[in-house]
Amino acid sequence: MSLVDTGFDDPTDFNTTQLQVLDEHLRCPICKELFNTTMMLSTCSHSFCALCIRRSLSAEQKCPKCRKEAVEKSLIHNYDLDNVVQSWKDTRPTSVHDISQPVSIPTHDDDIFQPLSTTRRSTRIHSQTKPNYATTYPDHRSSNTVQPMSSSVHHPTQATSENMVECPICQQSMQQAVVNIHLDRCLKGDRSIPVVHQTTSQQPTVMTLPITKSKPSAVYLGQRPIQQVFGVKKDKEIKSLLKSYHLPDHGDRKQMIWRYTEYVTMWNANNDSESPVSAHVLIQRLQKMENSMLAEKNNQLKRKTEDTDTHRDHYKDDYSRLIDEVKRRK
């Protein structure tokens, strides 16, 4: 069973080196997951998840990858890489499924009327000599609008090989003028070929669909927390600081300092995101994380105590024998 079947994704889901490398480059070097709100260090141009790099810099002001000096002020939101990662996330399951399908390659000229196989063979667009007959193209002597192929049998107009390219995702041949529009659709699962209109001057115009991007509704992020110097603060002051941000104020000094520091990191990472959550949700996540850490710590202490008791019971007879031997020597 592959990792993708178990709900986990990994570069090894792909059986081609090129796609494995691509998938790996779109992952955070710290958490090894696909980038989530990508932040780039201006000092060295390395990118990480917003939460990962902010946690790392709060512990050590160095780039985790190249060890170059860095601070949080040098972080820049890499919006372009965020868009690439989101497109990759949308198309990745389909890509993994398609690449695992068997490939059927036509061996005779008569097979050119069969649907082209949807496999990945190359990541570069190159010229093809066979046109795709799913859409007809106008003759150079005509300026008529291109129409989809009808059910009646006819011979499509031949297009020159210089104007034909192949989609690197679905392998369909099409005119070079529409390949960029097709790639944007193909990444989202739509493998249709855009229709091209020809003018009398032979300058093609590409039909495009209007793209509308919904804006996230405004959420209350809460008051921006700032870094504190806890060495000069008393426990009472730390508790008041936590209360001012609606954070729990229980626990010892070390636990309260960790809670506030982690909240600052989470708040800044949430503020970097294009889809931030409210301050209430952020505090709930922090409490859930802290409870999980405390539970794990208690389990470790419990296991340690049980191991000590088991060890003592196992060697109880040996201890008694050694004690008796020492008494006899006296």
Regarding whether 206 and 128 lie in a shared domain, the answer is yes
Regarding whether 205 and 117 lie in a shared domain, the answer is yes
Regarding whether 109 and 79 lie in a shared domain, the answer is no
In a domain, 224, yes or no: no
pLDDT tens profile 277-315: 999 999 999 999 999 998 887 777 777 666 676 777 778
In a domain, 220, yes or no: no
Given a cut of 70, is residue 252 above it in pLDDT?
yes
User: Of 71, 93, 115, at which residue does a domain stop?
Assistant: 93
Regarding whether 105 and 78 lie in a shared domain, the answer is no
Regarding whether 70 and 50 lie in a shared domain, the answer is yes
Predicted confidence band at 232 (pLDDT cuts at 50, 70, 90)?
very high
Check residues 292 and 188 and name the one with the higher pLDDT. 292
State the pLDDT at residue 116. Answer: 45
In a domain, 54, yes or no: yes
User: Of 66, 93, 120, at which residue does a domain stop?
Assistant: 93
Regarding whether 179 and 118 lie in a shared domain, the answer is yes
Check residues 172 and 249 and name the one with the higher pLDDT. 249
Regarding whether 157 and 201 lie in a shared domain, the answer is yes
Provide the residue range defining the domain that includes 300: 230-329
Regarding whether 244 and 198 lie in a shared domain, the answer is no
Average pLDDT rounded to a whole number, residues 2-21 = 71
In a domain, 302, yes or no: yes
State the pLDDT at residue 253. Answer: 94
Average pLDDT rounded to a whole number, residues 262-269 = 94
Regarding whether 16 and 85 lie in a shared domain, the answer is yes
Q: Based on the structure, what is the number of domains in the chain?
A: 3
Predicted confidence band at 135 (pLDDT cuts at 50, 70, 90)?
very low
CATH number for 75? 3.30.40.10
User: Of 213, 245, 275, at which residue does a domain stop?
Assistant: 213
State the pLDDT at residue 246. Answer: 93
In a domain, 175, yes or no: yes
Question: What is the SS3 assignment for the chain?
Answer: CCHHHHCCCCHHHCCCHHHHHHHHHCECCCCCCECCCEEEECCCCCEEEHHHHHHHHHHCCECCCCCCECCHHHEEECHHHHHHHHHHHHHHHHHHHHHCCCCCCCCCHHHHHCCCCCCCCCCCCCECCCCCCCECCCCCCCCCCCCECCCCCCCCCCCCHHHEEECCCCCCEEEHHHHHHHHHHHCCCCCCCCCEECCCCCCCEECCCCCCCCCCCCCCCCCCCCCCCHHHCCHHHHHHHHHHCCCCCCCCHHHHHHHHHHHHHHHHHHHHCCCCCCHHHHHHHHHHHHHHHHHHHHHHHHHHHHHHHHHHHHCHHHHHHHHHHHHHHC
In a domain, 165, yes or no: yes
Q: Which two tokens stand for residue 185?
A: 């659709």
pTM here is 0.52
Regarding whether 88 and 48 lie in a shared domain, the answer is yes
State the pLDDT at residue 325. Answer: 84
State the pLDDT at residue 313. Answer: 75
Average pLDDT rounded to a whole number, residues 114-118 = 46
Regarding whether 111 and 57 lie in a shared domain, the answer is no
In a domain, 223, yes or no: no
In a domain, 219, yes or no: no
Regarding whether 109 and 87 lie in a shared domain, the answer is no
